[in-house]
Amino acid sequence: MAQFKVVINDVKTGKSFQKEIEGQYANSLIGKKIGDVVDGIFVDLPGYKLLITGGSDQAGTPMRKSLPGPRRRKILLRGGVGFHPKMPGQRRKKTIRGNTIGPDVVQVNMKITKYGPKSIQDLMAEKEENQ
């Protein structure tokens, strides 16, 4: 059974919220790609739309949008996600995970694209009180 830590970024306020999901909601995220828009009901935010922006696996390997599939691969990078060169023109072979969410992914990063009727702070506070 899949279990994810979802980090939701509120672009209006600049705050981030973390939510753990498991069960059917977590299983429905498997197969989604970076850049897909998902319904907020998967993370207990009804009425919200969320854009998947990235993630990482249990070893901390980041997901990269330009690499298809859910597997880890060693690729030659010039910069961007997974490698920040110290000198101009520097390249390095690094291990990167593909852009598809699989069962090995632990953290999924999302940002809000459409807001719902209630504020996200109220919804997150309600869920913490109920637990």
Per residue in 53-62, pLDDT tens? 999 999 999 9
Q: Which residues contact 125 (CB under 8 A, 6 or more apart)?
A: none
Residue 31 in this model has a pLDDT that exceeds 80: yes
- This prediction has a pTM of 0.91
DSSP characters for 59-116? T-PBB-TTS-SSSEEEEEESSSTT---SSTT--EEEEEE-SB--TTEEEEEEEEEE--
pLDDT of 45 higher than 70:
yes
pLDDT tens by residue, 74-130 = 999 999 999 999 999 999 999 999 999 999 999 999 999 999 998 888 888 776 666
Which residues are paired to 33 by β-bridges?
100
- Please report, for the chain, the start and end positions of each structural domain, with discontinuous segments joined by +: 3-126
